[in-house]
């Protein structure tokens, strides 16, 4: 790791000031991606602004038909939260699938979505659940927020404050992990809203990160059953191909994971 | 350089370190506790697992400064004097270690796992919970046995105490 | 603790330090004024170095030195060598290219070291290493061994035209050809043995300390064989004469073969410590380990098996291309030859075998011994083709194996080895019973009702270990003898130190070796200390690999114990005025048979050292040494049975039951032996399902971290069922065969045979990743067993 200057912010405002006062800063959430990247000398911020000490960024609350999760909330806290398990069990399950126990103790929702790793789990939930991302300056829909592989709509100094998830009628996440990294080779989040509309979002497989699968959404809106998506394939031409799986295999996984997610949602 | 202070295995410690110093290097080099190991550079092997404020974390994936003023527990702080922690004793009793290199991280992960699950640990859960710890020697068979035995013993002790 | 002799499941003496964080590994060593080394490594697989500019790095804070191959050569440091001479079939010696610890002209694999920075801290050294500018002129690279042999392929070493290191053969080609000419059935297969990265959890490390006043070096390092390291560093690399070099291998966190060899980094650390006049520490990170630790396996083989009309095997023909990487590592030549092709007879009576092995240079990390070393490759070829032949001729794989088993011992194979003892039916019977082989069809049907494809696979392995008779290996080209030494020192108070040339890096020698002493003298293991891993303490030894520490290392201890026992009895007989033949040792006491006269072991020890009243002419003291040179290899064997369920939707394989029935001969500590098998099985299953060192066509290692190299985790493997049967090895005093590698040797074919059975498609390469299995199983709908 190259040398850096560490700052711990105690408020969002202070964090923003520290950031803009630096020639080259990065925000540090739980650090589970940024620290390894810095260790590999692939990132070398002059200043690191740690958001871990900002209490306002933490917490899970039910808020008029929605579930609001602070950006600094750890995966562990999401996975084990009674509120999350009651309102959106698929989201709790997803959080329990991220990394490993020690990573879940440190990693945060805000850090994960701000990085938008194409193999990360959370983006699929945000997109499928139609979540709203609140930042230090604005509100964005999930689909506005995620703009491509490792790309988001965030401005340099913008901080994710919280994510608000409308509570669905049912939802579930099914993931096929990469055997080495345990990131998603394909992860599919399915959600049926209380007004009956359906969203299906896949992560891990797409070249541009998370994507929705319209054909599955239509099929499931008509008939909510695993069989309804069994015959629907995504175009392998848009999928990732690497030593762990070809695009064709990932396309198969997307269909299989979708089936399993629907079955799990009940 | 930053002065980083924390409570390490119950003792208040402090050291001046570069800001880029990882918690694992703070523990190993600044504080001389070499039981916590580094086995990879991608946060996957778990040889470096310690507890920060009561939760298992990978000390290679955290700056020492992030743990400022925290309570940090390493494998050296687990035993009560000469009396081994039940997880330590179970690893020995069930031959849950060979070369010993992954062992401190395994033990710290196991203690955290048992704290979270109590006596409700079956083999499948234990194997899943060990996702972030790699052992190349034991094939995990005896590690799983050791954790199960320790969890059963600790929950029996707790039940007896209640 | 107390008396814990042969056969006791004694808990390990070494565990206390490991479970309390008090292990002492190389990276834990801190010396005053210590500096840190960081290597500048080639990003290219094949390139000409046109310039190395260290000027910016030398200006950086904390930098002591930047050293390159030019200084290394100027200081007379020798090239790395391969210590086992193999001759091609035309009689010519192997073609070994030059390998410098720091390369300054042509780099031949990604990650090869071209310079080293020595600085005050590890991070400052790495900062400066990034600032060393090396200009390269890229050359075309070659990563496939088969392609490297073709005309027009990029050439690595001028010494090895067409990249061919040797073209070697074993067995009788004419009689093998004759067997095929008259065969009623021939099974032919192309078999690949995937390249693996050993991955001990402790990365390699070295701390080198030069004492200018004494002109003496000390090297703390992660070695399986510190004496061999000292010998090679001294005799070939000219770092220092042996008496001026002490090598200490403290606690070592696993090796699996990869810590046998001497690598550039240890040489450079020693040399640099003299250059800068300060101790030098180097610790590999995991990425460096992937790029520079010797890899394992990487064979491509065409195998043909000839059967007569009764399905008796009459001939076996094997052609293998072995990829040895960019340089010949220390024992690399022996792995695809004498450790591989000599095991091609498997457990079977095969009258004619011929094998041809071509070893090839490529622009990849050097390949050498990894757990099993040649024997897993042989076992995979044999057990895959045996299973396939049985399927082709419509015989049950069990009956086909039984029909061809070797049943009388000793058995001379056509490929050098003479099997001394074994009972292959016994391990096969034990495994079939434990896995409920007869109940498999019902389980297959039940699995099908859940949409899963269930399969059963067997592997009947035999391996050669207890490495090795010195004269025999000498005649085959080994540069060293492979005996072992031991010294038993009884202290005046009766406690005992055993010095051994074996080295424990996870195998539990401190416990098992103490059990030998406990058994012999009836003393508690807590009064016994095992001393190893330090060339200043132990006179010499050959180290630990090839499952040799039991059969060879412990045999040396037994020989030394024999001498101590004889002397103790003479002293006891003298003191108690009895005849030597009447002295019995029991529970730490030497008694005169048929009387109540007795002296404790510690009283005898004290008498030996006070020397006030010893037999006429006897030297004082109670300390004896021994060298043991085995008379043959040992031959552990067994049957592994693997039952899998494949998810046809994803191709994911779950191992639902795995039985290992092994014949290891005499077992000293069953608990430790079981642990060795568990670990070996998991490495073998890792090879079969997960692990692969993948290169792209430019020689970049794509799986260079745990993000991309799939190490087996706890949820990838099952709990195992282990059984042992026992035929004693007649070649050593305890009847031991060795157990360290069997699991890794026997398990891969069992797994692949099981999956191919499940998916009803025999065309499946390792690692059998989910995608490969998914593709191979398409169309294989779950169905009830016939």
CB atoms within 10 A of CB C75: 13
| Residue in C40, C64, C46 with CA at minimum distance from that of residue C113 | C40
Cβ–Cβ below 8 Å for B136 and C679: yes
pLDDT bin (cut points 50, 70, 90) of residue C778 is: confident
Return the pLDDT at C780.
63
Interchain contact, C706 vs A245, CB within 8 Å: no
Mean pLDDT computed over C342-371:
98
Residue of C nearest to A184 (CA): C707
Q: Could you tell me if A43 lies within 8 Å of chain B, comparing CB atoms?
A: no
Strand pairing report for C245-248 and C216-221: parallel
**Residue C483 DSSP one-character state:** -
Q: What is the mean pLDDT of residues A33-56?
A: 95
- Separation CA B106–CA B108 (nearest Å): 6
pLDDT-flagged residues of chain B (< 70):
none
Cβ–Cβ below 8 Å for A249 and C771: yes
Q: Which of B16, B25, B62, B133 to mutate to test binding with chain A, by most A CBs within 10 Å of its CB?
A: B62
User: Hey, are the CB atoms on A243 and C711 less than 8 Å from each other?
Assistant: no
Nearest to C292 by CA among C66, C114, C533: C114
Residue C779: pLDDT over 80: no
Q: Which of C392, C248, C258, C273 is nearest to C330 (CA)?
A: C258
User: In chain B, whose CA is at the least distance from the CA of A32?
Assistant: B61
Rounded Cα gap, residues C223 and C229, in angstroms: 8
Reported in sequence order, the residue ranges of C202-293 that DSSP labels E, i.e. its strands, are: 205-211, 216-221, 245-248, 280-283
Cβ <8 Å between A179 and C708: no
Q: Is the pLDDT of residue C432 over 50?
A: yes
Whole-angstrom distance, CA of residue B92 vs CA of residue C225: 26
The strand pairing partners of A242, in sequence order, are A245
What residues contact C121, with CB distance under 8 A and at least 6 apart?
C36, C62
**CATH T-level topology, domain A170-265:** Enolase-like; domain 1 (3.30.390)
**Cβ contact A31–B61 (<8 Å):** yes
Report residue C783's pLDDT band, with 50, 70 and 90 as the boundaries.
low
H or E, element range at C670: helix C670-689
Q: Is residue C225 scored above 70 in pLDDT? A: yes
> Is the CB of A244 less than 8 angstroms away from the CB of C649?
no
Residue in A39, A44, A185, A244 to test binding to C, most C beta-carbons within 10 Å: A244
Mean pLDDT of chain C: 96
CB within 8 Å of A66: residues ≥ 6 apart: A164, A165, A166, A167
**Contact state of C694 with A3 under an 8 Å Cβ cutoff:** no
Mutate to test the interface with A, among B36, B42, B43, B107 (most CBs of A within 10 A): B43
When pLDDT is averaged across residues A89-117 and rounded to a whole number, the result is: 97
> CB A50 to CB B66 under 8 A?
yes
Minimal Cβ distance to C702: which of A179, A181, A243: A243
A179/C710 touch (CB, cutoff 8 Å), yes or no: yes
Question: How many angstroms away from the CA of A171 is the closest CA of chain C?
Answer: 22
Q: Exposed, middle or buried, C280 (CB in 10 Å: 0-12/13-18/19+)? A: buried
Q: Is the CB of C62 inside 8 Å of chain A's CB atoms?
A: no
Which positions ≥6 away from C225 have C-beta within 8 Å? C249, C260, C503, C541, C542, C543, C544, C545
8 Å CB contact between A126 and A94: no
Subunits adjacent to chain A (3 or more Cβ pairs under 8 Å):
B, C
CATH no. for A59-166 = 3.30.465.10
A253–C690 CB contact, under 8 Å = no
Tokens of C551: 């059969």
Report the largest interatomic distance among the alpha carbons of chain A, rounded to a whole angstrom.
56
Burial C483-517 (b: 16+ CB within 10 A, else e): bbbbbbbbbeebbbbbbbbbbbbbbbbbbbbbbbb
- 8 A C-beta contact, residue C664 and residue C724: yes
Q: In this predicted structure, what is the pLDDT of residue A219?
A: 98
Q: How far apart are CA A19 and CA C108, in angstroms?
A: 45
Q: What is the DSSP string of C412-453?
A: E-SSS-EE----HHHHHHHHHHHTTGGGHHHHHHHHHHTT-E
Among C15, C259, C714, C747, which would you mutate to test the B interface (most chain B Cβ atoms within 10 Å of its Cβ)? C714
For range C109-138, the mean pLDDT: 98
Pull the structure tokens for residue A4. 């850096």
Distance in angstroms between the alpha carbons of the first and the last residue of chain C? 55
C197: which chain A residues are within 8 Å (Cβ-Cβ)?
A: none
Put simply, the answer to whether A102 touches B42 (Cβ < 8 Å) is no
Largest Cα–Cα distance in chain C? 86
- Indicate if the pLDDT at residue C624 is higher than 50: yes
A3-29 pLDDT per residue, tens: 999 999 999 999 999 999 999 999 999
Q: If you average pLDDT over residues C587-610, what whole number do you get?
A: 96
DSSP three-state, residue C264: helix
Q: What's the rounded Cα separation, in Å, for the pair A14 and A8?
A: 9
| Nearby residues of B13 by Cβ (< 8 Å), 6 or more positions away | B5, B6, B7, B31
> Mean of the pLDDT values across residues C629-636?
95
Spatial CB neighbours of C206, under 8 Å, sequence gap ≥ 6: C26, C219, C220, C221, C222, C265, C266, C269, C270, C280, C281, C282
Q: Does A179 touch chain C (CB under 8 A)?
A: yes
Question: What is the C-alpha to C-alpha distance for residues A176 and A258, in angstroms, rounded to an integer?
Answer: 11
Hey, are the CB atoms on B61 and A100 less than 8 Å from each other?
no
Q: Do C477 and C87 form a contact (C-beta atoms < 8 A)?
A: yes
Domains of chain C, earliest start first? 31-139+201-254+259-292 (3.90.1170.50), 299-467+632-777 (3.30.365.10), 483-628 (3.30.365.10)
Q: Which of residues 703-762 of C touch B (CB under 8 A)?
A: 705-707, 711-715, 717, 719-720, 743
Separation of CA B16 from chain center? 24
For residue A20, what are its two tokens?
Answer: 């803009």
> Helices C555-575 & C601-610, crossing angle to 10 degrees?
80
- The average confidence (pLDDT) of chain A is 96
* Smallest Cα distance from C713 to chain B, Å: 6
Residue C436 sits at the chain A interface (C-beta within 8 Å) = no
Please answer yes or no on whether C717 and B140 come within 8 Å at the CB atom: yes
Average pLDDT over residues C599-628: 96
- How far is Cα C612 from Cα C589, in angstroms, rounded to an integer? 20
**Residue C753, Cβ neighbours under 10 Å: how many?**
30
| Tokens read off for C33 | 């004024």
Cα–Cα distance between A5 and A25 in angstroms, integer? Answer: 9
Structure tokens at C585: 């040792």
Range C532-568 burial, b when 16+ CB lie within 10 A, else e: bbbbeebeebbbbbbbbbbbbbbbbbbbbbeebbebb
- The domains found in chain B, sorted by start residue, are 2-77 (3.10.20.30), 86-161 (1.10.150.120)
ipTM: 0.98
> Among positive and negative, which fits the CA dihedral C735, C739, C740, C746?
positive
- Cα separation of B100 and C507, whole Å? 10
Neighbours of chain C (3+ CB pairs under 8 A): A, B
CATH code 3.30.43.10 for A5-50:
yes
Q: What confidence tens digit (pLDDT) does each residue in C41-75 have? A: 999 999 999 999 999 999 999 999 999 999 999 99
| pLDDT exceeds cutoff 50 at C276 | yes
Interface test with C, best of B136, B145, B146, B149 (most C CBs within 10 A): B136
Within an 8 Å CB–CB cutoff, is residue A209 touching chain C? Answer: no
> How much is the average pLDDT of A109-137?
96
Domain definitions of chain A by residue range: 5-50, 59-166, 170-265
Of B97, B130, B134, the CB nearest to C711: B134
Q: Which residues of A222-254 are buried (b: 16+ CB within 10 A; e: fewer)?
A: eebebebbeebebebeebbeebbbbbbbbbbbb
Sheet with A198-203, side-by-side order of all strands: A170-177, A184-192, A198-203, A211-212
Instruction: Quote the CA–CA distance of C702 and C693 in Å, as a whole number.
Output: 7
Q: Chain A contact for C697, CB < 8 A?
A: no
Query: Can you give the pLDDT at residue C786?
Result: 42
Cα separation, C215 vs C650, in Å, equals 63
What pLDDT was estimated at residue C479? 87
CB–CB contact C127 A180 (8 Å): no
C-chain residues within 8 Å CB-CB of A252? Answer: 649-650, 774
> What integer pLDDT is reported at residue C547 of this predicted model?
83
Residues 65-94 of A with CB under 8 A from B: 76
Neighbours of chain B (3+ CB pairs under 8 A): A, C
Concatenating the DSSP letter of every residue in chain A gives ----EEEE-SSHHHHHHHHHTSSSEEEESS-TTHHHHHHTTS---SEEEE-TT-GGG--EEEETTEEEEETT-BHHHHHH-HHHHHH-HHHHHHHHTSS-HHHHHH-BHHHHHHHT-TT-SHHHHHHHHT-EEEESS-EEEHHHHEEETTEES--TT--EEEEEEEPPSEEEEEEEE-TTT-SEEEEEEEEE-TTS-EEEEEESSBTTS-EE-HHHHHHHHH--SHHHHHT----GGGB--BTTB-HHHHHHHHHHHHHHHHHHH-
pLDDT at C202 over 50: yes
Strand, helix or coil at C391? helix
Q: Which two tokens stand for residue C17?
A: 């330090």
User: In chain A, what residues touch B65 (CB-CB under 8 Å)?
Assistant: 6, 8, 50
Cβ-Cβ contacts under 8 Å between A and C: the total is 49
Q: What is the dihedral of CA A120, A125, A130, A134, to 10 degrees?
A: -60
- The answer for A 225-244 residues in CB contact with C (under 8 A) is 243-244
For residue C785, pLDDT beyond 50: no
Torsion, CA C467, CA C473, CA C477, CA C480, rounded to 10: 70
How far, in Å, CA of C615 to CA of C573, rounded? Answer: 9
Give the pair of three-digit tokens for residue B12.
Answer: 């208040």
User: How near does any CA of chain A get to the CA of C609, in Å?
Assistant: 57
pLDDT, average across residues C668-684: 98
């Amino acid at each position: 790791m190259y040398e850096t200057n560490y700052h711990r912010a105690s408020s969002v405002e202070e964090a923003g000031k520290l950031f803009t006062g630096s020639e080259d800063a990065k925000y540090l959430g739980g650090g589970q991606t940024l620290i390894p990247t810095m260790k590999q000398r692939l990132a070398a911020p002059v200043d690191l602004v740690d958001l871990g000490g900002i209490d306002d960024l933490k917490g899970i609350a039910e808020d008029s038909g929605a579930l609001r999760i602070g950006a600094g909330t750890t995966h562990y806290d999401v996975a084990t939260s009674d509120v999350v398990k009651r309102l959106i069990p698929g989201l709790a399950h997803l959080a329990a699938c991220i990394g490993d126990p020690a990573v879940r103790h440190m990693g945060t929702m805000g850090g994960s979505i701000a990085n938008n790793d194409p193999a990360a789990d959370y983006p699929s939930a945000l997109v499928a659940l139609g979540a709203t991302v609140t930042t230090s300056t604005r509100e964005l829909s999930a689909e506005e927020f995620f703009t491509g592989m490792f790309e988001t709509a965030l401005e340099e100094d913008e901080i994710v404050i919280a994510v608000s998830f409308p509570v669905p009628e049912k939802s579930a996440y099914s993931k096929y992990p990469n055997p080495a990294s345990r990131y998603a080779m394909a992860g599919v989040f399915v959600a049926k809203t209380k007004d009956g509309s359906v969203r299906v979002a896949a992560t891990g497989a797409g070249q541009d990160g998370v994507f929705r699968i319209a054909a599955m959404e239509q099929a499931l809106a008509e008939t909510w059953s695993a069989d309804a998506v069994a015959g629907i394939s995504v175009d392998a031409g848009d999928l990732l191909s690497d030593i762990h799986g070809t695009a064709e295999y990932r396309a198969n996984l997307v269909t299989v994971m979708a089936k399993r997610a629907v079955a799990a949602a009940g | 350089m930053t002065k980083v202070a924390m409570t390490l295995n119950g003792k208040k410690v402090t050291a001046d370190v570069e800001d880029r110093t990882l918690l694992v290097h703070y523990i190993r080099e600044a504080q001389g506790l070499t039981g916590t190991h580094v086995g990879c550079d991608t946060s996957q092997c778990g040889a470096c697992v310690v507890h920060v404020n009561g939760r298992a974390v990978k000390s290679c994936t955290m700056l020492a400064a992030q743990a400022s003023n925290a309570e940090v527990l390493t494998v050296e702080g687990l035993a009560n004097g000469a009396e081994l922690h039940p997880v330590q004793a179970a690893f020995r009793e069930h031959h849950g270690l060979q070369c010993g290199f992954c062992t401190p991280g395994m033990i710290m992960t196991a203690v955290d796992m048992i704290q979270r699950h109590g006596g409700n640990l079956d083999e499948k859960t234990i194997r899943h919970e060990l996702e972030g710890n790699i052992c190349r020697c034991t094939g995990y068979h005896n590690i799983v046995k050791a954790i199960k035995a320790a969890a059963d013993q600790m929950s029996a002790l707790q039940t007896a105490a209640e | 603790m107390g008396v814990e002799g042969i056969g006791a499941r004694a808990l390990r003496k070494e565990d206390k330090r490991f479970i309390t964080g008090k292990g002492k590994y190389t990276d834990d060593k801190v010396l005053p004024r210590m500096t840190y080394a960081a290597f500048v490594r080639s990003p290219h697989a094949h390139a000409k170095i046109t310039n190395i500019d260290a000027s910016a790095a030398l200006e950086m804070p904390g930098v002591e030195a930047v050293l390159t191959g030019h200084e290394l050569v100027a200081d007379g440091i020798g090239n790395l060598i391969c210590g086992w001479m193999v001759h091609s079939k035309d009689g010519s010696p192997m073609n070994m290219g030059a390998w410098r610890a720091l390369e300054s002209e042509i780099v031949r694999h990604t990650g090869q070291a071209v310079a080293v920075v020595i600085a005050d801290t590890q991070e400052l050294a790495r900062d400066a290493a990034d600032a060393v500018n090396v200009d390269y002129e890229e050359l075309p690279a070659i990563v496939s061994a088969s392609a490297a042999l073709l005309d027009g392929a990029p050439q690595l070493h001028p010494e090895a035209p067409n990249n061919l290191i040797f073209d070697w053969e074993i067995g009788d080609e004419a009689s093998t050809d004759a067997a095929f000419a008259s065969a009623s059935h021939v099974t032919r297969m192309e078999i690949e043995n995937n390249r693996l990265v050993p991955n001990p959890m402790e990365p390699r490390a070295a701390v080198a300390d030069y004492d200018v006043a004494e002109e003496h070096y000390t090297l703390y390092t992660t070695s399986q064989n510190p004496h061999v390291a000292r010998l090679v560093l001294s005799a070939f690399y000219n770092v220092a004469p042996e008496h001026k070099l002490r090598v200490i291998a403290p606690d070592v966190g696993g090796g699996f073969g990869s810590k046998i060899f001497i690598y550039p980094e240890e040489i450079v650390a020693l040399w640099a410590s003299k250059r800068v006049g300060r101790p030098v520490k180097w610790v590999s990170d995991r990425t460096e380990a992937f790029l520079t630790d010797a890899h394992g396996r990487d064979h491509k083989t065409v195998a043909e098996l000839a059967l007569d009309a009764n399905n008796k095997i009459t001939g076996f023909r094997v052609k293998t291309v072995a990829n040895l990487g960019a340089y010949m590592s220390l024992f690399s030549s022996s792995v695809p030859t004498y450790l591989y092709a000599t095991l091609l007879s498997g457990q079977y009576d095969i009258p004619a075998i011929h094998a041809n092995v071509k070893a090839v240079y490529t622009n990849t990390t050097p390949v050498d011994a990894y757990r099993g070393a040649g024997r897993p490759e042989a076992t995979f070829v044999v057990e895959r083709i045996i299973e396939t032949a049985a399927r082709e001729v419509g015989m049950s794989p069990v009956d086909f194996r039984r029909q061809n088993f070797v049943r009388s011992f000793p058995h001379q194979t056509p490929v050098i080895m003479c099997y001394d003892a074994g009972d292959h039916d016994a391990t096969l019977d034990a495994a079939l019973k434990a896995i409920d082989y007869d109940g498999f069809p019902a389980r297959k049907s039940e699995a099908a009702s859940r949409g899963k494809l269930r399969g059963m696979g067997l592997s009947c392995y035999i391996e050669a270990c207890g490495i090795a008779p010195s004269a025999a290996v000498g005649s085959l080209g080994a540069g060293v003898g492979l005996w072992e030494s031991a010294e038993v020192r009884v202290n005046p108070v009766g406690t005992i130190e055993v010095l051994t040339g074996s080295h424990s890096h996870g195998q539990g020698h401190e416990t098992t070796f103490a059990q030998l002493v406990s058994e012999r003298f009836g003393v508690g293991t807590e009064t016994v200390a095992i001393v190893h891993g330090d060339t200043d303490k132990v006179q010499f030894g050959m180290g630990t690999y090839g499952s040799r520490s039991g059969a060879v290392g412990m045999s040396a201890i037994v020989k030394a114990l024999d001498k101590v026992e004889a002397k103790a009895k003479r002293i006891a007989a003298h003191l108690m005025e009895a005849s030597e033949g009447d002295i019995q040792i029991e529970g730490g006491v030497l008694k005169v048979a048929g009387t109540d006269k007795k002296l404790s072991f510690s009283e005898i020890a004290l008498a030996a050292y006070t020397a006030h009243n010893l037999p006429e002419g006897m030297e004082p003291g109670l300390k004896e040494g021994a060298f043991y040179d085995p008379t043959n290899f040992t031959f552990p064997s067994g049957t592994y049975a693997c039952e899998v369920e494949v998810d046809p939707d994803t191709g994911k394989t779950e191992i639902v039951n795995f039985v290992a029935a092994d014949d290891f001969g005499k077992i000293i500590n069953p608990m430790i032996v079981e642990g060795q098998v568990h670990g070996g099985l998991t490495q073998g299953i890792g090879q079969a399902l997960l692990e692969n060192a993948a290169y792209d066509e430019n020689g970049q290692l794509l799986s260079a971290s745990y993000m991309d190299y799939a190490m087996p985790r706890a949820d990838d493997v099952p709990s195992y069922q282990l059984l042992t049967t026992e035929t004693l090895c007649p070649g050593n005093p305890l009847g031991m065969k060795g157990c360290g590698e069997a699991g890794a040797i026997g398990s891969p074919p069992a797994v692949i045979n099981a999956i191919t059975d499940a998916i009803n498609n025999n065309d499946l390469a390792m690692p059998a990743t989910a995608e490969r299995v998914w593709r191979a199983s398409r169309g294989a709908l779950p169905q009830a067993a016939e």
